[in-house]
A and B are shown apart, each in its own frame.
Chain A
Amino acid sequence: MSDSVISEIRRDHILKLLGSGKRTDGRKFTDWREISVSTNCIESADGSARVKLGKTEVIAGVKIIPGTPFPDTPNEGILTTGMEFLPMAHPSFEGGPPGDDAIELARIVDRGIRESGMVDVSQLCIEPGEKVWMCFIDMYALDYDGNLFDTANLAAVMALKTATVPRVQYGLGDSDCPLPVTCFPVSVTTYKIDNTLILDPDFDEEHISSARLTVTTDDNGNFRAMQKGGSGSVTLDELNQCLDMSVAKGKEVRKIIG
């Protein structure tokens, strides 16, 4: 996520604590930090959410506008997801077009939303083959203290859940309607440090981890998207633990912010 160096002494401290089942801020391995969500915070957006996970913060806004469908899906609306790591979010983030980390993140969030069928794109057709609603989900990291993946996913999903299709603005109906949303995909990213698996790392934990696995589940606990990242590896046994944790945490998160 960035090239920051964690000092040896800090690294050893974190590793030593993990070895005795503890984390630097007192959380359990599977605890997330406090979640705070504020939806519809931007009036100019068709849906928006500002989500904080501990000290990590992401704002997501949805813009829905009429456009031309892709030739292979003439009756379906279009979803587009973008992410920018704003330089205000962390001293290591630089300006300019999104880098590979931001693009990977946007694609993982996109996959969770797309593959879960969260947005019912079949209901976003205005005129088959001619005109459909295009739904742009744009996310910006405002503050970065680890685990941007899950924070961004929550922000995008909450923005979509509160979005409306602006039919009146484009003269395509007498009233606006809520964006057709079918489920609540939650991504849970597990990070591997040495041989320990933890959820929702802070900046230091994330930077000494060797691998991460993002797993997105739907309301039924089925798997909808996965991505392994980082230069390390995960064993089959660890993969199974990740899957179990993702299902359990996904359920918990849905309960908290439903």
Chain B
Amino acid sequence: MSGHTDMILVDENGIRIDGRTVDQHRPFKIEAGVLNNADGSAYVEIGKNKILAAVYGPRECHPKHMQNPTKAIIQCKYNMQTFSVSDRKKPGPDRRSIEISKITAEALENVVLTELYPRASIDVYIEVLQANAGTRCAGLTAASVALADAGIPMRDIIPACAAGKADNKVLLDLNKEEDNFGQADVPIAIVPSTDEIVLLQMDGNMTRDELDKAISMAMGACHELYDVQKDALKRRYAKRVVEVETDE
């Protein structure tokens, strides 16, 4: 977040380098049930981000000392593949991916009915195949669809989207250039039915007004994303939906 660059990220007409307006998100594409072995899975494309999420569980919790006698724990592993970024990423977890795994699991704990599965573990794996800013949001978006696909009881599914600031303008869903050379980034995830915020981070420099605007823009996009998430699940189970409808 240096904020010092010659690059013009938003032109005088409010058009961004990828042709979007300030309040426009990148195209979403979500597919549920893309893997065979996993109990649930999802593939998400948000702009140039390509993310695969898979869920196993509830299953026996390893290591045993992590077990909670009152509820299931959610263990999340966010991993960037070596070729997902322009400079090859060293394989294995780093401090960034460990932090993202932690906040993703914590966000998901808000909606998963973990109390139904004491001592169990619900394992969420997020693989970033291709990254272009906003992978933690895309990863969480994919993970909640994968959890639903796994048939795990949930209060709601979680969409996540970022807003930020570049060239002194508040922008929705930053792309890579805006993230690298912009002035602020605010990823947010919500529970759409209640508008509770379950993931929130911020870095950069924003006034109170800008922050308010960023949050409301990101929450708006979350609601749009929510519809796409539900649609992906409906398509996955379309056959069953049709069967149920004809029964009635």
Contact = CB atoms under 8 A, between A and B. Distances in A.
A138 B35 contact: no
A59 B131 CA distance: 15
A165 to B, nearest CB: 14
Interface residues of B, number: 30
B36 A143 contact: yes
B238 interface: no
Interface stretch (A11-19, A84-92, A123-131, A218-226): A84-92
A59 B129 CA distance: 9
Interface string B28-50: 00000001111001000000101
Nearest to B38: A88
Contacts of A41: 50, 129
B91 interface: yes
B230 to A, nearest CB: 23
Given A61-B82, A62-B83, A88-B41, A44 B130 contact: yes
Contact of A91 (B59, B82, B85, B129): B59
A136 interface: yes
Contacts of A55: 36-37
A142 B35 contact: yes
Contacts of B52: 88, 142
B207 interface: no
B105 to A, nearest CB: 14
A57 B34 CA distance: 11
A65 B90 CA distance: 13
Nearest to A45: B83
A144 B54 CA distance: 13
Contacts of B41: 88
B84 A42 contact: yes
Interface in A128-166: 136, 138, 140, 142-145
Contacts, number: 84
B37 A145 contact: yes
A87 B77 contact: yes
B86 interface: yes
A88 B82 contact: no
A63 B92 contact: no
A42 B85 CA distance: 10
B13 to A, nearest CB: 28
Given A44-B83, A55-B36, A61-B83, A87 B88 contact: no
Nearest to B89: A63
Contacts of B56: 87-88, 91
A71 to B, nearest CB: 23
A94 to B, nearest CB: 8
20 contacts: A41-B50, A42-B50, A43-B130, A45-B83, A45-B84, A57-B35, A59-B129, A61-B81, A61-B82, A63-B82, A65-B88, A87-B56, A88-B127, A89-B37, A91-B56, A91-B59, A136-B82, A136-B88, A138-B91, A143-B36
Interface of A: 41-46, 48, 55, 57, 59, 61-63, 65, 82, 84, 86-91, 95, 97, 136, 138, 140, 142-145, 169
Closest 4 CB pairs of A and B: A61-B83, A88-B54, A45-B83, A63-B88
